[in-house]
Each structure stands twice: as C-alpha cells, then as structure tokens.
Amino acid sequence: MDEHEHICGECLHHQKLIDDLAGQMPDADILADVAELLGLFGDKTRVRILYELLREELCVSDIAQRLGMTASAISHQLRILKQGRLVRSRREGKTVFYSLADSHVKTIFYHALEHVTE
C-alpha cells in the first residue's frame, strides 16, 4: 500500500493541490489567536453584552439593567472582553463607558448572526 493511499483513496490525484497550498496556512501562533478570539464569542452573556454595545456605548450599570444581571457579573465579562480586545472603555468623571473596540467586532458579530439565522 502506498503511503499516500488512505482515507480518500484518490489522494495521489490531490497531490498537486496539496503542493500548491503548502505554506499558505497561517502561523500556528496566529491560528491560536484566532481560536482564542472565537472562544470569546462562546459565552452567552458575553454575546449579549456585545449585542448591547452594537448600538451604543454603555456603562456597567446600564448593561446590567438591560440584561437583568448584577453589575459584578457584567464587570467580570467586560474584563474578559476587554482583555480579548473586543471592547474598549473610556472614563467620564466617575463613570466608565464601554464600546466595541472597532468595526471588526461589529462585522464578526453581524456575520455570525447572519450565519445562524439563514
């Protein structure tokens, strides 16, 4: 049995494609970062927070009230989102307002929403 013969049975026919694609995969560290980014969307509370921030910037108490959760729970999730660079904050007096970090976050969110509602 040839070393290329396995699952597909026609692997030799795909060798040109495999050779053409060689080296095109992003670096493993970049793919790990992508996995981490996508993992941030894996929590329902974080997704709900991101949805609220699609429309406008909000403070912790506003988000907590809208989602029916404690400010502590919201702060914890915002900290994770901020560390993942999906959310940014700005201080105005004693109040900290949160917003989406950039337009990429909005695009990712809307693409995911479109994908699951098709």
Beta bridge partners of 89: 98
Task: Write the DSSP string, 4-49.
Answer: T-SSSS-GGGGHHHHHHHTT-SPPHHHHHHHHHHHHHTTSHHHHHH
For the chain, the structural domain boundaries read 11-117
Q: What is the pLDDT of residues 50-96, one digit of tens each?
A: 999 999 999 999 999 999 999 999 999 999 999 999 999 999 999 99
Q: What are phi and psi of 96, to 5 degrees?
A: -105, 125
Candidate CATH numbers 1.10.287.3510, 1.20.1250.20, 3.30.1490.20, 1.10.10.10; the one for domain 11-117: 1.10.10.10
Q: Which of 58, 47, 62, 57 shows the shortest CA–CA distance to 110?
A: 47
Model confidence, pTM: 0.82
